[in-house]
Structure 1
Amino acid sequence: MIYNKIESANREDIEKIQLNRLKDVVKRVYNLTPFYKDKFDEMGITPDDIQSLDDIQKLPFTKKQDLRNNYPFGLFTVPMSEVVRIHSSSGTTGKPTVVGYTAHDMDVWNEVITRCFYMADMTSKDIVHNGYGYGLFTGGLGFHEAAQKMGATIIPASGGFTQRQLMLMKDFGATILCATPSFALHLAEIARKEGPEFRKEYQVRAGFFGAEPTSEGLRKEVAKVWDIDYYEVYGLSEIIGPGVSCSCNKGLGLHINEDHFYPEIIDPKTGEVLPDGEEGELVLTTITKQALPIIRYRTGDITKLHREPCACGRTFVRMESVIGRADDMLIVNGVNVFPSQVEHVIANTEGVTINYQIIVDKKGYLDKLGIVIEVDDSIEFNDVERVEKIKKELQHSLLNNLYINAVVNLVESKSIERSMGKAQRIIDKRK
């Protein structure tokens, strides 16, 4: 099923809509956001310079740091009286990147996720088990509200509590599963303990998976073990949350909802726009957002774009599954983790040095984050009570400021192996 006829419109009509909306959003940010007005003036650009879609290349990029620099509401273009929802990502000192939504923005968000649901022929008769985290992150509530507006039954299970989630999926007769792919496999691993025929106890027929990079092998394994149709959902809070794009079951890639999000692929080093089919960094411009419109946002995600019509009937441009990052961000169980954020927490903790290693591994199908940190010379390593106190303080700070659960191990000074005098900061054993 196709939810909105725009999804199968011809390219000329799509681009006409995009240009009109691009012109509007450029005027909006120029007139209402000092950050963008200063940027445009610096580059000698006015909204009148945007007369074609190609003219978007004249506009400046926006980066995550720009949102942090304008914390909390400096990039908003509406008064807070018009903001109906706030979400955010983690921050280095408790200062996250903040995103806001007007009622119109919420309607857009619900629509794009509903388009995803329609790819799986989902209806009000479905029972949706939502295993994404709820709270300030956009995952859980994004899927929740769209499913509810469709009239489907929603089970707000959130993350963790594996045995309980399996019980709810089975007893409530869930037909749709929303979760990270690694958590879906973890659920299956535990469910297998019920016996080799465990799958007969569940009614799940389709799943919507995202929030972490996923290999083709992992996607196939999730689909196979649960015997379901696998739909990959892509999104990021700065743009709207999940629903920026979604895969169908007919062709390669994820259909970008490009009547709301204008995509480009650039060379991550030069910023040069690359042609379709070439690998580079995905850049997105929100062309219908009201509270927080963003111009040419550098996502850091590496992918390719394809514009050939799909066998499903949709004509929207498709992006391939994200294969990596242009920066040093790690994604651990669906949570974005920047080593610089971890380093900031460490630097503000007494008794440890800035020599550390971040170690990411798998425990079953779930990511496991460990951080090894050297104590400084002022700490007697045999003082177990003090070392344990520092360790607990670090784990609390990481959870409180970055929303990540990490196993912290403190080691003696100069015990972390160095190469050319420098410690290897990140060890990702998942690769």
Structure 2
Amino acid sequence: MSTYVQEETWDREKMRDLQWERLKTTIERVYENVPFYRTAFQEAQIEPESIQSLEDLQRLPFTQKHHLREHYPFDLIATPIEEVVRFHGSSGTSGKPTVVAYTQQDIDHWADIVARCIYMAGGRPGDILHNAYGYGLFTGGLGLHYGSERLGCATVPISGGNTSRQITLIQDFKPRVICATPSYLLNIGETMKEMAIDPTTTSLKYAILGAEPWSEEMRDYIEQLFDIKALDIYGLSEIIGPGVAMECPEGQDGLHIAEDHFLVEVIDPETLQPVAEGEDGELVFTSLTKEALPIIRYRTGDIASITREQCVCGRTTTKMSRVKGRIDDMLIIRGVNVFPSEIERYVLQMEALSSHYQIHLSKKGVMDHAVLHVEVSESFFDSIPGQDLKHPLAQDLVKDIQHTLKEQALVTMDVQLNAPNTIPRSEGKAKRIVDQRKASVAQT
């Protein structure tokens, strides 16, 4: 078996032994070198030596995104700044990013982890890999780039945007693997069709997709659009970037976590207590090999579950489900909790609609008001007399959508039909929520 999957077939006891040794080292590192953690441990009356097993991890304090913002830019770094070779970051509400740092060893580990992910997805040395993730402070582009090179792929660092050039290079270079957000790959495929190019005729065989929640229905749509295997990759900059977990093409029923580098928990976000295996909750990760920015029990805000049975592909690592959504993305619509990805499921099941949608939020008095903006398919649009979206045929479609959402998702919401190609396309992460609530309050 390839060196890129060795650790993923270990028995549970061997993996736990490695995790425990690395957890001890990480705890000592943060206690000795990061004042924030030393203070947090002391406030919880915990010394490094009092952590005696993996189960004791639950005694340690959580880390949250606001802690990274409050200690901007370098206060959580555990090595001398001279040992840092790269910074990445994610956007912050104040306009300043949350900063993450990497030593050379961190970069090397990250490249190895992502190489394993690409191999797991079907990539092989000698393949051409088209990387349409954004480069820069965002970890996606460079994360996949270094992993691709580490595996031995010829990497096309095109980044996001400039869709016509993307299509030209896909046709001319004939890559076997493509990396992008699901919504942007969808944009590429639909643009190909507009250019009278059949997406199923490209050289692409595997798509590594992430950076946004996406539904099984979106996967099915993309796979049929390109005649391709569409596979989910998970990561976030605070932990390392892409590569924390990857889906295999044999199973496509969960993402294998790189457990030799990351320790996973799932908690109830309200009680902060562990949930049962297979039950949805908030993902929590502890890094096990990070030098520059080790992180303890980081609350990701992502909702998923984990299972530990051996996969059909032969891997024994813990699997996480596809991310259902983020805690802060969850909408409360007339008293019902719902994630945008749940709405997406039903939009993609209706032949009269395209795959593009947005949810517009506003205020009506003191209440939140949601309107689902959907785009009708060109065939349906052409079938409406005068292409009038106020016509009874179109209004019947509105009623059908509302009925489906009410029956399947228990959500009652207004629906706005839009003509084909009028909802903005993504060249990176899709903008599914348009929040106009502050503007609504200001107007009242």
Provide TM-score, normalisation by structure 1: 0.78
Aligned match of 1:161:
162
Aligned match of 1:75:
76
2:180 matches 1:179: yes
1:149-298 to 2 correspondences below 5 Å: 149-195=150-196, 197-200=198-201, 202-251=202-251, 252-298=253-299
Aligned match of 1:401:
none
2:29 matches 1:28: yes
Contact 1:255 1:319 in 2 (8 A): yes
2:324 matches 1:323: yes
Provide TM-score, normalisation by structure 2: 0.76
Deviations 1:32-86 (A, max 9, x none): 1100000000010011111111000110000000001110010100011111110
Distance in 2, Cα, partners of 1:279 & 1:121? 28
- Residue identity in the other structure for 1:206: Y
Contact 2:148 2:154 in 1 (8 A): yes
Number of aligned pairs? 358
- Residue identity in the other structure for 1:229: K
- Residue identity in the other structure for 1:302: I
Cα distance change on mapping 1:304 and 1:61 into 2, 3 Å: same
Cα distance change on mapping 1:272 and 1:172 into 2, 3 Å: same
Cα distance change on mapping 1:176 and 1:361 into 2, 3 Å: farther
Deviations 1:345-398 (A, max 9, x none): xxxxxxxxxxx9999967266334656487xxxxxxxxxxxxxxxxxxxxxxxx
The secondary structure found in structure 2 opposite 1:84 is: strand
1:38-187 to 2 correspondences below 5 Å: 38-187=39-188
Aligned match of 1:394:
none
Distance in 1, Cα, partners of 2:35 & 2:285? 21
The secondary structure found in structure 1 opposite 2:230 is: strand
Please, what is the CA RMSD of the aligned residues?
2.5
Contact 2:121 2:208 in 1 (8 A): no
Distance in 1, Cα, partners of 2:329 & 2:234? 19
1:328-407 to 2 correspondences below 5 Å: 328=329, 363=423, 366=426, 367-368=430-431, 370=434, 372=436
Deviation at 1:118, TM superposition (A): 1.1
Contact 1:208 1:233 in 2 (8 A): yes
Deviation at 1:125, TM superposition (A): 1.8
Cα distance change on mapping 1:296 and 1:172 into 2, 3 Å: same
Distance in 2, Cα, partners of 1:301 & 1:105? 24
- Provide structure 2 residue ranges, at least 5 long, that are not aligned to the other structure: 332-338, 341-367, 375-422
Contact 1:359 1:371 in 2 (8 A): no
Cα distance change on mapping 1:195 and 1:291 into 2, 3 Å: same
Distance in 1, Cα, partners of 2:220 & 2:209? 12
Distance in 2, Cα, partners of 1:68 & 1:216? 34
Cα distance change on mapping 1:222 and 1:44 into 2, 3 Å: same
Deviations 1:8-40 (A, max 9, x none): 000000000011111110111011110000000
Cα distance change on mapping 1:4 and 1:88 into 2, 3 Å: same
Deviation at 1:168, TM superposition (A): 1.0
Deviations 1:396-430 (A, max 9, x none): xxxxxxxxxxxxxx789535xxxxxxxxxxxxxxx
The secondary structure found in structure 2 opposite 1:101 is: strand
Distance in 1, Cα, partners of 2:206 & 2:174? 13
Distance in 2, Cα, partners of 1:52 & 1:160? 47
